[in-house]
Amino acid sequence: MIFTVAIDGPAAAGKGTLSRAVAARFGFAHLDTGALYRAVGAKGGDPVAAARSLTAADLARDDLRSLAAGQAASRVAVIPEVRAALLEFQRRFARAEGGAVLDGRDIGTVICPEAEVKLYVTASPEVRAHRRWLELGGDEAEVLAQVRERDARDMGRAEAPLKPAADALVIDTSALSIDAAVAQAIAAVAARLDRAAAG
């Protein structure tokens, strides 16, 4: 069975948590596409060469969740040649047999516009900054400034800007518990699988 779940949204909205939960619930493979861009940014050097030579070891680095890696990812993600190098990798993963969940910023709009389920996970910048601050520490006001700066860059870029797909279910996690958000995501996927099974 080929079945793709595309989960998009800004940093610290909860899309990674939802993606892992959906993948686990349905036995689908999971790809955090942001990790691809984080790994390219973290490798340093020429970003295009880094994207073309990405390995599993690059994706296993333990510094990919840092604020610095996130900022580096956002900077290299605006380079069309980097996006092109990573595009085919993501599309092959998405349409592999057995089902796949991909989370990122342009999965439902650019990478997999034919995805069977599209979710857009969001939350207010203040809530997202607080979550990131709890995770990483530092100065909370500075974290909020970085979140807003990254949002502006991701939403304003000419190539594949961050936005919900027209047919995406929007899940705002600002005031939702993790369990409630996961339940919404799982219900959306289950409903689509039921429709597919019914033919």
* Residues contacting 141, CB < 8 A, separation 6+: none
Residue list for the binding site: 9-17
Residue list for the binding site for ATP: 9-17
Helices 125-136 & 140-156 angle (0-180, nearest 10): 120
CB–CB of 91/141 below 8 Å?
no
Angstrom distance (rounded) from CA 150 to CA 185: 25
State residue 63 phi and psi, 5-degree precision: -105, 15
Q: In the 8-state DSSP scheme, what is residue 99?
A: -
